[in-house]
Structure 1
Amino acid sequence: MTQPRTATTFAPPVMEARRWLDGVTHPADRPLLNVSQAAPVDPPPAPLREAMALIVLNNPDAHLYGPVLGLPALRAEIATRWSHSYGGHVTADQVAITSGCNQAFAAAIATLCAEDDEVIIPVPYYFNHRMWLDMSGVKTVPLQTGPGMIPDAKAAAALITPRTRAIALVSPNNPCGVEYPAATLRAFLELARKHGIALIVDETYRDFDSRSGAPHDLFVDPNWDDTLIQLYSFSKAYRLTGHRVGAIVASAARLAEVEKFLDTVAICPNQLGQHAALWGMQNLDAWLAGERLEILDRRAAINDNFAQMSAKGWELLGCGAYFAYLKHPFAMSSADLAPLLVRDAGVLVLPGTMFMPDDLPGGETQIRVAFANIDRVGVETLFNRLSNLSY
């Protein structure tokens, strides 16, 4: 008997981790530090919420079906901004709006892959990417990362087969936080183009990159859309997590195929969320710049305070955007350690085993810390708790 598609993959990791909280109490002097999920817990900033309220009251179209590929004004705004910020040329018909970035990935894979095709993904990977590939009947081909958790295009070349349809990268990376060098992304684009496959680059966390200027030159290539598919999310930039607004930037021909997928699963992206994203892009540049500086300060706090962790045998494998990726010193799997941290330290993290295939080593020694919702003081508190543990 064949399995249904959903039975081919694992349970959602964040939901599994939340179940570790059941039955555990946290004393008033040691409240829970939840560093398990990379999503802002605060609502959108007040000016955006006020604008959204007016949209709800005064824009009847915000309550109706809209274009499957998204609001024309939002698509045009992204095209204009991307052309300017990346120094290339992106047109509105090369942009589609999706119901979050996860749907953008799902749509891209639906246009690329058939049963038993293959997609190369660096490990540790973003688990939802693996889950969608599983449920699509697509084989995940893991690419081991090198020094600094950076993937190597030459290593990826050895994994390409006649069934390979794409290489999928995330930069800044989830779960490791590292920012892929521009030369790395360029090497992957050239590799993908040489083999006639797609390069998917998920830039969900692009607004919190520590580098000034464009993080890569892929859009400068006049023929970028023959190979590149870029994904983006508004959830992090404007705290629109519950409104589910993402984007996919690709050739107009590919987006014609994407339209089939989107029309079938959602009909159109959330209209209110799209209007909010557009308002945010047009009015919140200064606010978003401040948010970026705050995230960069939290990243700095990780590095500033890690000496006490190093003294206890911890290693910092990667750090950036919303994440710090750590190697723990204990003689147990991170899958067993993570639930214990809830009880013994009041800390909820995700184990590295959630970001690695079961048959590859490494995940059992690693944990991911998502610091989107803890400030510099919270980082110090987290490290104080972790460095005082012994197992």
Structure 2
Amino acid sequence: MAWKTLDDMDLDGKRVLVRVDINVPVEDGRVTDTTRIDRIVPTIEDILSKGGTPILLAHFGRPKGKVVPEMSLRVTLPALENALGHKMTFVERPDPAALKDLDHGSVVLIENTRFAPQEEANDPGMAKFLASLGDVYCNDAFSAAHRAHASTEGVAHLLPNCAGRLMQAELSALEQALSQPKRPVAAIVGGAKVSTKIELLENLVGKLDVLIIGGGMANTFLAAKGAQLGASLLEPDLIETANGIMAKADSTGCTIQLPVDGLVAREFKQGAGYETLKLGPDTVLEDDQMVLDAGPESVAAIAGAFENLQTLIWNGPLGAFEIPPFDTATVAAAKRAAELTRAGQLVSVAGGGDTVAALNAAGVADDFSYVSTAGGAFLEWMEGKTLPGVAALSG
């Protein structure tokens, strides 16, 4: 896909509208995790170094087109200024004329775009108004690129546009992982439910050499093969869907790898007693038993699959990773993937909220080739969907 970057733009003396994602967690009026803020710093610094004036557009929370004081972006200012080492100008009601007279080196943050009902409606009038605030549009919010909003899609058609450094890194990593991967390529898809990832699984089996399924969704696939899994989380109404996905994988030459053993407990709590049991078509668990993690043989099989790969995509944990000891498989597999990445044997791209949390818990997020903070957009890209905010950059 052809999209311009900051390297292709003349920004000297230009006002650069930058769509960013700084929808960060806040407690007691303070930002508690600055990851998303830290990731936009290279784009802002680059614009400043090229003589441009960054004017940041962003949303915060879900005010649904109303002014909600608790969702003001003002709360992010201290963290932004700290990350940039630079004072900022906060603007509640932007005036195009006033923004033409900014001092060189200014950085501006506009109030929450979602305070305006026209934002999420992608209203042409709002897109036109936003375009009047700048000379160039730069989208650095891949995580919001699956939304066709005025600040993510509409305004991109009205100004010269480009991808920011974070968007550029995200798109490059995803193209390398899924559009033009080095083969063999595999994906780990985990999490609780098949129902949330049907389109993802159906798309991936047509593109991968190996699909490793874990978490609660693996139980539905095991049940489709005949396993009786007691009180385990699974979706009986999706057994037919699971069979269809396995049939498609057979026809495309994609190997589906399911757990061959698991940690089985009778209660779902930290430190719960468990036993390791074989899993397969003939498995019959008691009514109160539940599979809460993949077992050691499954982890060994996953690690074995890693040895033959050149590219790995990861979305979702292999078990109930929030509660030890049911994080064992996720942590072990993540550490092995990180080792192979560090050794230069593997390109590893991961994304999704639970995935990022799991990799952070394993202490290996920094060792993966790329870790995306874009939940919904990452998932829709993997599903093969066109993202409006990305498509607008190439149009």
Answer 1 or 2: which has greater helix percent.
1
Provide TM-score, normalisation by structure 2. Answer: 0.28
Provide TM-score, normalisation by structure 1. Answer: 0.28
Q: Which has the higher contact order (CA 8 A, sep 6+)?
A: 1
Structure index of larger Rg: 2
